[in-house]
A and B are shown apart, each in its own frame.
Chain A
């Protein structure tokens, strides 16, 4: 760089001297920050505080007591079971779909990507109705299952199916851009080094997508636990049996049992906050590896 010619730019003067070129004038910046803070406060923070305030309005003991009631505790249990089944299945599905879409060339790829997005554009209520029409007691499959003692609709299977339908784009959508960006060169390199398909998946593909995968799984989980519309249709809202947390919250709320409703809502909100905390913790813990994963 020794032969770089010396430039004689006019020296910046006064307050301009330390201002990066991308900075707008101060008033604009202040306005922007104010708008963002206002929105966050109004849309995110205030409602969250309100939920907890309402839950604790008759004291913490009342709140906890309302959660111990069989209706509430069965709802919590059901929601956790649904998430525990739906999320891993969707993670596997999402990885498979993203793998298929990004590592192979085939006709109809664009159509498949659109199909994956379908649950985002279809109203959950419509999705729920479709499930009832497909697996209800008076359909071939549904009838057969009922006859053998395993009803699908108005029972756990349909709640899991509905939750899976609504949340299945999350993982695939997180993974597809990342996997397209990374290409298939590393997988091909592993092939030439003699690795088998499974070995390549676990030692090359999965480590390269782990952060996107984690993020997709957390989003999927948050959404699966919170799903209302589709589950409301397929579950039949049977108290203490097929009523998930969101459904139970609505029923309690409609019965003016506000402490019970908001306590359960607070638990749901806490579960969401927990997933976010988990993500942040993992990012912090593995920050060095994250940095190493980026190419120069």
Chain B
């Protein structure tokens, strides 16, 4: 799905989290929102997912206005920074949640739900953990379950907030490759937030550098590296 962000701004009381920003994301792209803490990455991602409403501006999905679409109607697979797995449900129930929440007419039968959950568990390469609770999983496993849960609703796009933020270096590397693979097999337009430039540069087709609620530069990783557009980008990449 193609995503168009048109002059979106967001204010929280007196703080402007986003100055008007515009961004066009081609269908099927893997995009990184890169920037230091507080630069408005999460806010932008939440506006796309419908968890926050912009103060001004529009969001377009495949050229149709989605600004006032409810969270539920957006069908955005969202992976939260702290994963936000349902702690009182097993992994299986977590992944099945979105399918079971569908209105009766569109809800798959029990056996079909089980089949899909099993398939997703295989996709994230954790076929045997369906009966466990989130508290019995490692951080990396939680992250993959959160991804599977988001994929279960057959989302129109995938939004991930610092998906590897809380993990150690080795697991991060592994999961990066996992995300790339899942993106390539599903073909979903995928946007992830990160403050780690290596992660953005290695993984994304398109990197959006943000600072203080503004977009500093949009470009392919190699182009941003070769030609930083602003003093901020140059300095940020130098660190």
Contact = CB atoms under 8 A, between A and B. Distances in A.
A291 B134 CA distance: 11
Nearest to A195: B101
B130 to A, nearest CB: 15
B139 to A, nearest CB: 9
Given A189-B80, A190-B101, A194-B153, A296 B135 contact: yes
B82 interface: yes
A194 B82 contact: no
A194 B87 contact: no
Interface residues of B, number: 29
A136 B80 CA distance: 55
Contact of B87 (A186, A191, A193): A186
Nearest to A291: B135
Interface in B56-82: 71-72, 74-78, 80, 82
Nearest to A197: B72
A293 B72 CA distance: 26
B236 interface: no
A192 B135 contact: no
B101 A194 contact: yes
B187 interface: no
A189 B135 CA distance: 17
B198 to A, nearest CB: 26
B162 to A, nearest CB: 13
Contacts of A295: 87, 134-135
B87 A208 contact: yes
B72 A194 contact: yes
Contacts of A196: 72, 101
Contacts of B72: 191, 194-196
Nearest to A295: B135
A193 B149 contact: yes
A59 to B, nearest CB: 50
A204 B149 CA distance: 15
B80 A208 contact: no
A236 interface: no
B88 interface: yes
Nearest to A210: B88
Contacts of B86: 186, 189-190, 203-204
Interface in A266-296: 289, 291-296
Q: Which of A191, A194, A203, A296 has most B Cβ within 10 Å?
A: A194
A191 B71 contact: yes
Given A186-B86, A189-B78, A195 B97 contact: yes
B102 interface: yes
A208 B135 CA distance: 14
A193 B98 contact: yes
Contacts of B98: 193-195
A190 B51 CA distance: 11
A111 interface: no
B87 A289 contact: no
Given A189-B78, A192-B78, A194-B153, A289 B135 contact: no
A191 to B, nearest CB: 4
Interface string B91-129: 000000110011000000000000000000000000000
Contacts of A207: 88
A46 interface: no
A192 B101 contact: no
A192 B71 contact: yes
Interface of B: 49-51, 71-72, 74-78, 80, 82, 84-88, 97-98, 101-102, 133-136, 149-150, 152-153
Given A192-B71, A293-B135, 17 more contacts: A186-B86, A188-B78, A188-B84, A189-B84, A189-B85, A189-B149, A190-B86, A191-B71, A192-B51, A192-B76, A194-B75, A194-B98, A292-B133, A292-B135, A293-B87, A295-B87, A295-B135
16 contacts: A186-B85, A188-B84, A190-B97, A191-B71, A192-B49, A192-B51, A193-B152, A194-B72, A194-B98, A194-B102, A195-B101, A289-B88, A292-B135, A293-B135, A295-B87, A295-B135
Interface of A: 185-186, 188-196, 199, 203-204, 207-208, 289, 291-296
Which A-B residue pairs are the 3 nearest by beta carbons? A193-B98, A185-B84, A195-B101
